[in-house]
Amino acid sequence: MKTTRNTTAKSAILELIKNSEVALSHAEIQKMNQELCDRVTIYRILDRLVNEDVIHKIATPDGTIKYAACNHNPHEHHQHIHNHVHFSCEKCHSVTCLDAVKPSYTIPENYLVKEVNFTLSGLCPACVESISK
């Protein structure tokens, strides 16, 4: 089995993502990181963190890829379907994990469902505030 190593850049990027309220894109991480490592290295680190299941990948409604720390419930450790609910703000483009919202749905026949991606979009609380003034 391929081993994976902890490097300065990897730890720094993971901290950034963990400490962020919202999901971050490659471009955002790059800006927050300027001198730490190369653009290409960020791509490779993000891929590794996703494979290690430490962070997860989210596609926003406009196709931008963002990353957020996984919030695994220790009691459902071996659950097979990732059930991510996100909110994507169309004004400030922030993406937040909504752990409180639990969708229910009927599984379509003949399909094999492996992942569920549920994204609500509109205005986040901060943007609702700023508009109503």
Q: Which positions touch DNA (CB under 7 A)?
A: 2-10, 25-27, 37-41, 43-45, 47-48, 63-65
Q: Which of residues 62-121 bind its own copies (CB under 8 A)?
A: 62-65, 85, 87, 90, 98, 100-108, 110-121
> Which residue bears the tokens 């990948």?
57
User: Is 54 or 123 the residue whose CB approaches its own copies more closely?
Assistant: 123
Phi, psi of 26 (to 5 degrees): -55, -45
Residue 31: enclosing H or E segment and its boundaries? Answer: helix 26-33
Q: How many CB atoms lie within 10 A of CB 68?
A: 21
Report the interface residues with its own copies, using CB under 8 A: 57, 59-65, 85, 87, 90, 98, 100-108, 110-125, 128
